[in-house]
Every structure is written in C-alpha cells, then in structure tokens.
Structure 1
Amino acid sequence: MSLQRRIENSWQGLSPSERKIAVLLEQNQQIVVSHSVAEIATMASVSKATVSRFFRSLGYDDHMAARLELRSSRESGVPVQLTSITPPEALQEEWQNLVQAHKDFDRQESALADAVLAAENIYILGFRNGYPAARHLRQQLVQLRSRVSLLPAAGQTLAEDMVDIGARDLVILMGFRRRIKSFKPLIQGLNRQLGQQQLVLLTDPTGSGYGQWVGTTVICPLGAQQPMDNYSVVFSLISRLVNTVAERAGSLKRIQQIKTLYEELDELDL
C-alpha cells in the first residue's frame, strides 16, 4: 500500500499534530527518504515522538520502514521523487546509462541485426510504456523489410495472432518495469511455441529474470533518481539496431519504393 493511500485510510484517526506531518508528506514524499525523524519534526513543528507515532499510525514499524518502502517502490517503477537532482546531475545519470547500455549491446548487435534480416516474419509486442517503443521499432524496420507486425492489434487479444507465429519468425518483446501480469505467461507460451532463440526481450534491469525464456535480453536502464522513467536508452538502442540492419540490408530499393508512394499519394509535407 502506498504512503498516500495509508495517509488517506488513517486520516480520521490521526491527531492534529500527526495531520500536520501528513500534509507535509503529501506535498513532498521525498522528505521521508531524505530527512531524519528529527528533521521531519522540525519541518512540521511537532515533536520527534509525534513523528514516530505518526508512522506507526500508518502501519509502519518505524520511519525507516517507510523509507525502505518508498525506495523499493521507485525501483519497481512507481513515479515518486526520492532525491533532489539538478538537470546536470540527471543528464550525467542518463549519459552513464547510455554508455553502459551501448557497451553491453556491442556483443549482441551483430547477431541481432542478422536475425532481423533473416526472419520470415517479425512480430513486435509492447505493453504500457513498452508500446511506444514497440511501435517506433516497427515503423523503422518496415522501411527496411516487409512482414513486420505490431501486436496486439488495438483493442484485440493476442491468441488469434500468436497462433500464426512460426519457427522461422522472430518475436521482439518490450517489457519494462510495472509490466502487465500476463507478461510472464506470454513469454513462457512463446518459448514453448517457438523455442528460446527466436525471442528477443528489451527490458530494464528488473526484467532480467525473464532472460531464461528468451535468446537475447537487451538491458535498458531507465534511471532511478527522477520520479519518471527515462527511455532514452531504449530509443537509442533501437536507433543503433535499425541503422545496423539498414547497413547490412545493402539495397535501398524498398526505401525508394516507399518514397515514390509518398509522392504519388501526396502524404508528406516535403
């Protein structure tokens, strides 16, 4: 249960002094992680004993238990602000994540690009925050090769499309933290249907455990210092992959055909 929900559920039973703490923390939950009991007491103009009593009133053993819960929530993807971070510090974290992810991708890039070109069909699956990345990857690859599909279709279930996926196809899944509950059974089902080597997973470090069912796991750190996840690594690796595929594809015939159709249909403002 979140801190906010605990406060809401306990509000009627809180004393006036405890409610002062509740109001303070509702405005900035970061305080629980970044400040001590004494500091919270000073900020709320209450005693340290009142702060300790407040956390017990919410169902925590103590302030430390609340702090650990908030840290764990952020690591699982819950958008809460845990620390103060300046734009340069955020940029530095992003840069470090990009450098590490690209270094790790060095050993995966070649085989993955070959698999993309060799597959009879490519199916790209993305849910929640993984959907925009899946859609972007499909839009890039479809300029380079045919038979690239995005699943599931809007408002539809997966079973009708999964039944057609064969052993010569490649499935690329996007599964980032706070995944849908059916993500694990989906990967396990695809593993039984296709085998491990035909499955590729792009995920954050919390999804590394799914690697036992896929042939390639591409880890994309999303950051932890800011309340909202940062998907720059995801889109950067997608860009790297599709450009490698483009180089290895060699022929620009398909791109030229698409360009001709753009002109004939007058679709783009060029």
Structure 2
Amino acid sequence: MTPKPAKRFRPIDERIEALTEPLPDSERKLAELLAAQPALLATHSATELAQIAASSKAAVTRFIQRLGYESFAAARREAREAQRWGAPAFQAAPDLPAATEEAFGEHLRRDLQNLALTFERLAAGVVEPAVATLARARRIGVVGYRNSHALAQYFARQLVLLKDQVVLLPQPGQTVGEDLAGFGPDDMLVILAFRRRVPIVAEIARHARKAGIPVLVLNDAATPPKEVDATWRIACETRGSAQFDSYAAAMSVLNLLVSALARLPEIQAGNRLREAERLHEVFEEL
C-alpha cells in the first residue's frame, strides 16, 4: 500500500475539539493558535509557538501531552508527515490578503518556481523512451484518482487526438480490475499519482510492472520514488502558494509529452488529428 500518515493519525484540531476539561489561560492561547493554524506545529519550534501565543515553552509541553502526544517532537513529526502527504490544513500559507497584487505576485512566483524546478530535473532519457512507447503502444490506459483525475482526463483527451486506443481508467461504473484485464506488454499505462493518493494507485502500478506493462508515472516531488513502481518517473513540483497544491508544472509536462508525441513521423502518418478536424466540420461541432 502507498505509505501515508500512520493509521492513528488524528488531526490536532480534532484533538483540541475533543478536550473536555477547562484549560489554563497559557494553554488556551495555544489551543486557539493551533486550531486556527495547525501548520505551525510542523514549521515552528516549541519556543516559537510559545512566543506567538504569548505563552511559555513549559505550557507548550503540557498542552501537547494533554492532547495525547508523547512529546512535542512526536507531534511535530506527525504534523510534518501530514504536510508531506499533502493535507491542506498543514500547508504553510503566507500571511497575505487573498486578493492583492502582492498575493498575486506570490502565487505567480511559486508557479514559476515549480515550473523551473520540474523542468530542470526533466531528462531526455526519460521523456524520449516514454514518448516512443506511447507511439507504438497498442492501447494506452491513463489512470488518475482524486485531484489526479482531472489531469488524467486532460491527458487522455489529448492522446485521443493522436492514438486510436486510449482509455481513461477506471471507466464509470467499472472496477479497475475489469478494465486492466486485457492489458499486456504491448500496451502502456500512464499513472497520475499526485498526493494524496488512494492506496489502489500503488497496487495498479505494481500489477502492471509484474505483467510487463510499461508504466509512466507522474507524481509530486515530495513522494519518495519507491512509493509507486514505474518504468519511467517524472516528478513535478506541486507546492502551492497557500494551502492547496498547484498543478501548473504537471499540466505543462503533460502538454510537453503529447506535443512530442504529435511530432513523431508514425503519429503524423496516422492522420488521426486531421481526420478529427475534418469530422468537426462535417458535424458542425465547433
């Protein structure tokens, strides 16, 4: 299964809400602070939290233990794992009004940084064989759950313009096992595996590799490589300017892949894109 926060993980805001006894004033201030900004537990020390809440380090220690943690270090490890896993409440956000030029600039800066870091790591040794395999694959399955589903849907729709046998998995009303039953080494899977993944994503990748099916995985840069098995892997920076991940870099990589595919002679010879455009005119669809 895909590693994720421990099964006993319980968000700190839920722990605070579950408290029944009255809190001393020094701990009440900490409760109010961490309930409103749980990400601070991942990014600040006990001393820093005490300063922000106008409390004391001793009060931080007492409060953390009152919440059921063994220590502040244990609480911080759990918060950082939730942050790595992509829990929105644990993503640090700049203290900026949402609709200002300064906030717009920070958002743009983050997306540009994500694009730059992603493409700095992108290697021709990954892109070229992956695109070549897309070109010769008998059938292509594109897999994506949760936030990754929108990316998978986009990529599948672009591939349909170039290839005959492209399917978005799982199909509505179907199980993924039914959809994958006929896939083999002559086919290919593209798996969008961005955080926070459902466990079946890693199982699909593992099955495909055992069956000899080539697998291209796109995931977030925070995910350790071994979490989702792959023939080729492209890691995309997804850290957003606030609580939610940004997929600007991922979309750009998908666009790059389909553009590279469209330029291959064997794809151009297939003439599928031109035929699709001709049919648009026939049906007056656009």
TM-score, normalised by the number of residues in structure 1: 0.86
Q: 1:227 to 1:190 in 2, by over 3 A?
A: same
- Match in the other structure for 1:94: 111
Quick one: distance in 2 between partners of 1:75 and 1:95? 21
Aligned equivalents of 1:120 and 1:252: distance in 2? 13
Asked if residue 174 in structure 1 is aligned to residue 205 in structure 2, the reply is: no
Give 5+ residue unaligned stretches, structure 1: none
The amino acid that maps onto 1:95 is L
1:19 to 28, 31, 40: 28
- Match of 1:223? 239
Contact 1:81/1:225 (<8 A) preserved:
no
Paired residue type of 2:184? G
Shift of 1:152: 0.4
User: What whole-Å deviation, never above 9, does each CA across 1:79-101 have from its counterpart, x for those lacking one?
Assistant: 12325375544533433332232
Matched, 1:84 2:101: no
Point out the more displaced range, 249-258 or 80-89. Answer: 80-89
After superposition, the C-alpha distances for 1:32-68 in whole angstroms (9 at most, x for unaligned) are 3455545544554545433331111112244444333
Report the CA distance between 1:157 and its aligned residue. Answer: 0.5
- The alignment partner of 2:179 has SS state of helix
Report SS of the residue matched to 1:13: coil
The one-letter code matched in structure 2 to 1:235 is M
Unaligned runs of 5+ in 2: 1-9, 96-102
Deviation at 1:216, TM superposition (A): 1.0
C-alpha distance in 2 between matches for 1:184 and 1:84: 33
**Identity of counterpart residues, as a percentage?**
30
Give the aligned residue type for 2:242.
Q
Kept in 1: contact 2:216–2:233 (CA 8 A):
yes
**The one of 225, 242, 261 aligned to 1:208:** 225
Match of 1:139 in 2: 157
**Matched-pair contact (CA < 8 Å) for 1:170–1:199:** yes
TM-score normalised by length of structure 2: 0.81
Judge which range, 235-244 or 24-33, deviates more. Answer: 24-33
Give the whole-Å Cα distance in 2 for the aligned partners of 1:15 and 1:61: 19
C-alpha distance in 1 between matches for 2:119 and 2:53: 46
